[in-house]
Structure 1
Amino acid sequence: MRKIVAATFLSLDGVMQAPGGPEEDTAGSFCHGGWTFHYWGDAMGELMGKLFDEPFDLLLGRRTYEIFAAHWPYAGDEDPIAKAFNATTKYVATSSDAPLTWRNSVALPDVAADVARLKKQDGPKLLIQGSSVLIQTLLRHDLIDELDLLVFPLVLGKGKRMFGEGTIPVALKLVDSKASSTGVVMSRYRRGGEIRTGSFAQAQPSEAEIARRERMAAKA
């Protein structure tokens, strides 16, 4: 069984679009590309290094694949990340017939079914980078095992978000967390089972509370 890990840069309001540069992804007239740049530091570099030290295959959405394919093959294998990305298998969620030109690339036209099949196989972890649409699809089908989130201290207001409509409610377990000197909170979450609910309300609600609940029910 292969583990699926989504390693993602997020703003405080959940935006993950174009963290690396202004030209990375301008869809929807997004104008804040490169928002992670001035927060980067040694602690984040160390964390990402550990993430890539373990064996992995990449699992990417088509747009992220195109961004990576236009950069990493040209970065030179003296760059350790380029060397790892160029050598590993790239699984790409895409319905397009356009060729995948980056070596060791495999198309996944039926995303949820294909990823579920991959997950059942033996092999290294499947590491998601970027790929907001892919992540939302996999969250809807409960296929992601671990979330490695780097949350940056800024609010972007608009842009592609990690969690969207259709995400299955689930409890998560925090297994590691630290903050960088620039205020980036780096946290690792794994599945924690179903959501457990409770109530701080009075055991015997007041007449005002009963009336409020009735009004809420009528509006539902």
Structure 2
Amino acid sequence: MGKIIISENVTLDGVIQDPTGEEGTGRGSWFTWIGDRDREEWAKVEYEEALGAEALLMGRRTYAYFLGRGWASRTGEWADRLRRLPKYVVSSTASESGGWGATKVVAIEEVAKLKEEVSGEIVVYGSGQLVRDLIERDLADELRLMIYPFVLGAGERLFPETSGVRPLRLTGARAVGDTLALLTYARG
């Protein structure tokens, strides 16, 4: 049985919105505020995670973001690994996908079945709305939060209101580079 792993870049105050500044929120670009060593160490962690994945699960907008940034044609070990992984795009509006290896559009209602069909880690990048739906439906098995040392004070949060308490337990904590922290939580 597969495990859904949510992998998010998040500020200290829980903001996931506009990490690269492309949304024009006025508080974006926080991903770019880290130093070179932090960025290099972050990339190593992300590559390790990709090596451990059996599939990627994304929302429609995040999938389009990756395509728009050229991941389908990038070179290098990390890009090659992501290209080879099967990708599942959760969408209620898209009917086709393509352009980045083996990709299939699924409905949120199909994710529980996907967990039964895939052995190993199903990694979710970005995909704020999808992440909230997975947590609300108790489908997320683990959260890997890369914490950025910034308090933005505004922006879309990873965890807005939920229908109830979601207990988690800390299973890992490590420094990444000079200023980042990777916190890993499993379902309680």
Task: Give 1:163 deviation, angstroms.
Answer: 0.7
Mapped pair 1:107 → 2:101? no
* Aligned equivalent of 2:160, options 150, 164, 169: 164
In the alignment, what sits opposite 2:186?
190
Number of aligned residues: 183
Larger gyration radius, structure 1 or structure 2: 1
Please give the secondary structure, in 2, of the residue aligned with 1:3.
strand
Aligned with 1:185: secondary structure? strand
CA distance in 2, matches of 1:106, 1:43: 31
Structure 2 counterpart SS, 1:96: coil
Amino acid corresponding to residue 37 of structure 1 in structure 2: T
Supply the AA of the counterpart residue of 1:4.
I
- What is the Cα deviation at residue 142 of structure 1? 0.7
Assess if the C-alpha contact under 8 Å between 1:12 and 1:155 holds in 2: yes
Distance in 2 (alpha carbons) for counterparts of 1:168 and 1:135 = 15
Q: Which runs of 4+ in 1 moved over 4 A?
A: none
Higher strand share: 2
The residue correspondences of 1:79-90 to structure 2 (distance < 5 A) are: 79-90=76-87
TM-score (norm 2): 0.88
Residue 32 of structure 2 corresponds to 37
In 1, the alpha carbon distance for the partners of 2:2 and 2:177 equals: 34
CA offset digits 1:111-163 (Å, max 9, x no partner):
1x211111122423110000000000011111100111111111122222211
Partner of 1:17: 17
Q: Percent identity?
A: 30
Q: CA deviation at 1:12?
A: 1.1
Instruction: Output the CA distance in 1 between the equivalents of 2:163 and 2:80.
Output: 34
Show CA shifts across 1:140-187 (max 9, x none): 111100111111111122222211222541222211112234321211
Q: Structure 2, unaligned stretches of length 5 or more?
A: none
Give the TM-score normalised by the residue count of structure 1: 0.76
Taking a change above 3 Å as real, the CA distance of residues 97 and 122 of structure 1, as seen in their structure-2 partners, is closer
Aligned CA-pair RMSD: 1.8
Distance, in Å, in 2 between the alignment partners of 1:58 and 1:135 is: 13
Match of 1:150 in 2: 146
User: More relative contact order in 1 or in 2 (CA 8 Å, sep 6+)?
Assistant: 2
Q: CA deviation at 1:68?
A: 0.6
SS in 2 for 1:178: strand
Amino acid at match of 2:3: K
Give me the whole-angstrom Cα distance separating, in 2, the residues matched to 1:185 and 1:55: 21
Report the counterpart of residue 2 of structure 1 in structure 2.
2
Task: Tell me if the contact between 2:96 and 2:104 (Cα under 8 Å) persists in the aligned partners.
Answer: no
Asked if the contact 1:60–1:92 (Cα under 8 Å) also holds between the matched residues in 2, the reply is: yes
